[in-house]
Amino acid sequence: MIKAKVSLRPIVSKINLPTVLKTAILPGDSFESLFIATQVGEIFYIRDEAIQTFLDIRSRIIKLGTSEPGVSRGGYDERGLLGLAFHPEFYYNGLFYLHYSAAGTQGPGALSEHYRPNPCDPKTSNLRWINRETKYDHIDTVEEWVFQPNAQPQKRRTLLNLRRPFFNHNGVNSLNFSPETGKLIFTTGDGGSGYDPFNLSQDDIEIYGKIIEIDVGKNTFIHNPPVVTRFSELPSPIQETLTLIAKGVRNITGISFQKFYNQYIKYVGNVGQDVVESIFSFVHYKPIPVPQLVQASLMRAKPSQEGFINLGWRGWEGDFPTSFIKRCSENPALDEKIIAYYNEAVKTSVRRIQPLTSYFHKDPRPNKFGGTSLTGVQPYMGNKISSLTGSVMFTDIAQVKESQSPIRGVLAYTRAGTDCKLNDFSVVEVDYNFGSQSAYYVSLGTNLDQTKLYLGVYGSMKVSDFNQGTVFEIVP
């Protein structure tokens, strides 16, 4: 693949950790503004090169950087304001949507200790999430808001309230509208911890580990839905607004669309466990209406899965059977890779789709890199960076190098056709001097026609280290 080189143009700096970067045209305007959502609960927009506050919901966000009351995570957190999407008719109706972890909902978590499966002890592979109403970490909410010129944005209704077992794997850039169906797509992680302890991602009735389509045009007349963990716990009017696109998700960086003639290629990035990060693509899919799923569950039947997308987790981590790594006692320089869920890998081997591309946490090949965690996937349709036109860009939070200090994220790209077959990737060289500051690449965004790319960079992995963020435009 061609080696590409880009520069970065700073747009705004000294902000909190940016989780979503996207553009929209405000009612009454004739041009796009860049919107930036931060993990702590602020939404800014850039207009005439000046930063303005669109909405501040910091008081609605759970206290970040802590787990159960009085216990510190050292400032690292995966909760907060994680999703922002503008209705396709936002210019006319002012509707936009938020996904965040709600204040005052801290619980003790679903397990008291760190989970790791033991293939020699089948009980560890078949845990059940019990006492869900008391054993949970926090509650996530998906809401509809309305913007009116010359007025403060107002919340209109709540679409979903979800009780989550662990603090992590809540997704990021988790709300996006489909240009095909006009529906809101909500990408949920598998519930968290590691290795999906309760196998929620493959269980059809569980909300976690899924890609869900929400028909926001249907009014359920339920403005404060119950707090749930399963589709079957939702009232019927809410079930009827939902369809299921995919399962087998571990943790996801949203969904993006690339128009290809008269159809759209869909891209989703699935964050890996110990071995590999993966980007999946698909064109055709057959969603399952949630009422059909619930009915099948009541009758102990399986709905047809033909045309339904399965990313393979937890049996598969990208293109590999899910493994965990142990140091070899005989030779500390080597690692032993142990398959965590052999039977599940066999069962899902032909039901899953294969990744478009994957990259590894350790990679001995030249011109590749050791990754940590996928943070964004976006098509680029502009022509200013001609070597990247039509490609699929992705970011990793931090490159793994034994001698690297300070830390740097990674920008890379791959290409796809409508066959969505496995492809290679190439690192994009970034010509920018970050100085002695760490530069974690935490988010990737585009404008409406995907001709501009935006990169969110943070100086720390800790959300509690404030005002260390910069948003750049990626330029030739």
**Alpha carbons 370 and 361: distance in angstroms, whole number:** 4
- Return the bridge partners of 13, or none: 470
SS percent in the chain: helix, strand, coil, step 5: 10, 40, 50
Query: If we measure between CA atoms, which residue out of 229, 226, 228 comes closest to residue 209?
Result: 229
CB 397 within 8 A of CB 440: yes
**Residue 418 has what pLDDT?**
67
**Residue 402 has what pLDDT?**
66
Structure tokens that stand for 331 in this block: 């030779």
**Alpha carbons 359 and 278: distance in angstroms, whole number:** 7
Per residue of the chain (476 residues), give pLDDT as tens. Answer: 888 999 999 999 999 999 999 999 999 999 999 999 999 999 999 998 899 999 999 999 999 987 555 555 778 999 999 999 999 999 999 999 999 999 999 999 999 888 999 999 999 999 999 999 999 999 999 999 999 888 899 999 999 999 999 999 999 999 999 999 999 999 999 999 999 999 999 999 999 999 999 999 999 999 999 999 999 999 999 999 999 999 999 999 999 999 988 899 999 999 999 999 999 999 999 999 999 999 999 998 888 888 899 999 999 999 999 999 888 988 988 888 899 999 999 999 999 999 999 999 999 888 899 999 999 999 999 999 999 999 999 999 999 876 668 999 999 999 986 676 788 999 999 999 999 999 999 999 999 999 999 999 999 999 999 999 999 999 99
**Alpha carbons 240 and 225: distance in angstroms, whole number:** 14
Write the DSSP assignment of 284-336 as a string of letters. Answer: ----EEHHHHHHHHHTT-----TT-EE--TTTEETTEE-EEEEE-SS-TTSEE
Instruction: Tell me the torsion sign for CA atoms 308, 313, 315, 321.
Output: positive
CB 389 within 8 A of CB 380: yes
Q: CB neighbours of 80 closer than 8 A, spacing ≥ 6? A: 19, 39, 40, 41, 61, 62, 64, 100, 101, 463
- Side-chain half-sphere exposure of 453, counting CA atoms within 13 A: 30
Residue with tokens 């709540």, as numbered in its chain: 158
Structure tokens that stand for 475 in this block: 């330029």
Residue with tokens 């679903």, as numbered in its chain: 110
Dihedrals phi, psi of 57, to nearest 5 degrees: -115, 30
Write the DSSP assignment of 258-279 as a string of letters. Answer: EEETTEEEEEEEE--SSSEEEE
Cis peptide before 406 (omega within 30 of 0): yes
Query: If we measure between CA atoms, which residue out of 414, 288, 398, 410 comes closest to residue 355?
Result: 414
* Alpha-carbon distances, residue 363 vs 277, 292, 323, 372, 457 (angstroms): 12, 43, 16, 12, 24
Q: Strands, DSSP E only, in 16-71? A: 18-24, 33-38, 42-47, 50-56
- Domains of the chain (ranges, CATH numbers): 5-475 (2.120.10.30)
Output the CA angle 395-282-179, nearest 5 degrees: 85
**Alpha carbons 232 and 237: distance in angstroms, whole number:** 12
* Alpha-carbon distances, residue 193 vs 20, 120, 165 (angstroms): 23, 21, 8
Q: CB neighbours of 281 closer than 8 A, spacing ≥ 6? A: 265, 266, 267, 268, 356, 392, 416, 420
**Residue 67 has what pLDDT?**
56
Residue 404 CB: number of other CB atoms within 10 A?
12
**Residue 2 has what pLDDT?**
85
**Residue 48 has what pLDDT?**
87
Helix, coil or strand: residue 226? coil
**Residue 424 has what pLDDT?**
92
Structure tokens that stand for 347 in this block: 């069962």
**Alpha carbons 138 and 123: distance in angstroms, whole number:** 26
Task: Specify the amino acid at residue 53.
Answer: T
**Alpha carbons 250 and 170: distance in angstroms, whole number:** 10
